[in-house]
Amino acid sequence: MIKDFPNFKSNLEILLLTILFIIFVTPYSFRIGQEGVSGNYLFILFPIFYYIVNFWNRSEVHAREIIRPSKSVLFFMLTLFVIFFTALYDHHENLHFSFRRIASFIAFMSIFTLMFVKIDNNMLWAFKYAIVIFTLYSSIDTLIQYINFGGAELGTYAKGKVGTNRIGFVYVIALWITYFFNSKTLLISILKHLVVSIIIIGLLLTFSRSSMIALFSSIIVYFFVTILIYLREKKSYGKLLKKLLLSIAYIVGMSIVLGNLFPNTVSESNRMIFDYISPVQKSLSVKAEASIDELNELTTNSTSKSIEDKTTKKLNELTTNSSSKNIEDNNFIESIFDLSNANLPKALIDLSNKTSSIGYRYYVMKKVIDFVGQNPFNGSGFLGVWIVLEKVDGQYKGSAHGQFVDVLFRLGLIGFFIYLFFTYKILLYLFKQDIGLFIGFFGILVYGLFHETFKLSQGAFIFAFLFAMYDQKKILLGQVKSHFKK
């Protein structure tokens, strides 16, 4: 958390920075061919803007100077340049994608942009305000759309109407920033929990498995961190138990209230869970029961000759007709007699089906591993995974459906492990300095296992800011101290 509330003189600067950061975190997309591209990378101009402001305000130039990244970060930047230029030679067959390679390289390098600007206390406040205000606005806007479309009456159609996978991770970090806001009055405390409720509503209305997994994972980390900090500070077990029970009551109460207000978010979550945990689809057992019932009907009130004739005819219809409908029936019949499939989860069955969510991810992962195995040092040289996927309507389209899979493909092994190293260092730094940002960042990393996060412009801005915070930890040490909400 921030050391203290900003003083009056800082309010105008914080307001202006907050407005600017809201613009930076707002997603904007445009299309290249048939593929949508995240395009709001305006934050890369921020060092220029800041330098101009400092030039006209020379009295404070020393307090807000343009600084240089650490040697380790400069080494990372140099590594990425080497990967980019060697890929131009190694992957000459993709020279016609040079524009897209350059654009991807610039977008990836944007994570270093804020390294050249001194991150101070006011910037940190503005960053947090911007994330929360943007998320609050998005949640309210989505809620209004949800109500206008019919609310709970939408049922499963709500996912297609208001659901999204592109900003769920922003909701997660905004939630924990708000929850750990140090409210000093009863009114601010009430407003804080109201904002938390609205953000959770927005998170539920993403209708995204990734959002739910990131949320639940971050809650588990919250309890773990709570226990760890209370033990480290040697507080009484009674206070720890009270804290845990109040947190559980808060979560359960919020779940019950919001679950009743938005029942289709609960039904959608249940559907997504049981689709991938329960044994073979219910339709299999329904189909099997129907087939058995039909065969039983054949044996009722019939002569032995007619039984034989009708049974043979029915079995022939189920197994010999070559139409797509009966081929599907054949698969069901085969599954009835293949008892080894009877206990397999749908997730495993879907691995071989590229049209399913998990099957497509498995297919992409195999492609990525094969490609990186052949190009371990520079990967694709910043081109996306679409270069190894099948064309769709004559266009190169496709996504890695995972932040870390995407980075592995674009950078190869060396760049990937350096990227993981700095991600870990950021996480460790936030754990020591800001619990809210730590849990929120952890939630983003979990979300990134299933969808792109830092590849998107809003995610790149968040990563760039936290990366700069970590790299300037010695500068910030005197400005920021760790707080844990009592």
pLDDT the model gives residue 393: 64
How many domains does the chain divide into?
A: 2
Q: 294 and 261 in one domain?
A: no
Is there a contact between 210 and 447 (Cβ–Cβ < 8 Å)? yes
Q: 156 and 117 in one domain?
A: yes
Q: 128 and 69 in one domain?
A: yes
- Pick from 58-72, 108-122, 451-465: least confident: 58-72
Is there a contact between 173 and 131 (Cβ–Cβ < 8 Å)? yes
For residue range 184-220, list pLDDT tens digits in order.
Answer: 888 999 999 999 999 999 999 998 889 999 999 999 9
For residue range 320-367, list pLDDT tens digits in order.
Answer: 544 444 444 444 434 433 434 445 555 555 666 666 677 788 888 999
Q: 185 and 50 in one domain?
A: yes
Is there a contact between 352 and 359 (Cβ–Cβ < 8 Å)? yes
Q: 258 and 211 in one domain?
A: yes
pLDDT the model gives residue 90: 84
- Pick from 87-96, 270-279, 305-314, 440-449: least confident: 305-314
Q: Name, in order, each residue with C-beta under 8 angstroms of 476's C-beta and a sequence gap of 6 or more.
A: 119, 120, 124, 433, 469
The residue with tokens 């043979």 is 312
Q: 315 and 242 in one domain?
A: no
The answer to whether residue 349 is domain-embedded is no
Q: Is 414 exposed, middle or buried (0-12, 13-18, 19+ CB in 10 A)?
A: middle
Q: 255 and 115 in one domain?
A: yes
pLDDT the model gives residue 137: 96
pTM: predicted TM-score of the whole model, two decimal places? 0.81
323 Ramachandran zone, left/alpha/beta (phi>0; psi -120 to 50): beta
The answer to whether residue 106 is domain-embedded is yes
The answer to whether residue 456 is domain-embedded is yes
pLDDT the model gives residue 348: 58
pLDDT the model gives residue 110: 95
Q: Residue 459's pLDDT band (boundaries 50, 70, 90)? A: very high
Average pLDDT taken over every residue of the chain:
80
Q: 262 and 292 in one domain?
A: no
pLDDT the model gives residue 49: 85
For residue range 389-410, list pLDDT tens digits in order.
Answer: 876 666 677 788 899 999 999 9
Show the domain range for 106.
18-275+381-476
DSSP string, 340-404: GGTT-BHHHHGGG-TTSHHHHHHHHHHHHHHHHHHSTTTTTSS--GGGGSPPBTTB-----SSHH
First to last CA, the chain: 13
The number of beta carbons lying within 10 Å of the beta carbon of residue 101 is 22
Q: 339 and 393 in one domain?
A: no
Q: 90 and 222 in one domain?
A: yes
The answer to whether residue 160 is domain-embedded is yes
| Higher-confidence position of 359 and 180 | 180
Q: Residue 32's pLDDT band (boundaries 50, 70, 90)? A: low
Residue 287 reports pLDDT greater than 50: no
Closest CA relative to residue 447, chosen from 174, 233, 52: 174
Mean pLDDT value of segment 138-154 = 89
Q: 296 and 269 in one domain?
A: no
Q: 212 and 70 in one domain?
A: yes
pLDDT the model gives residue 353: 64
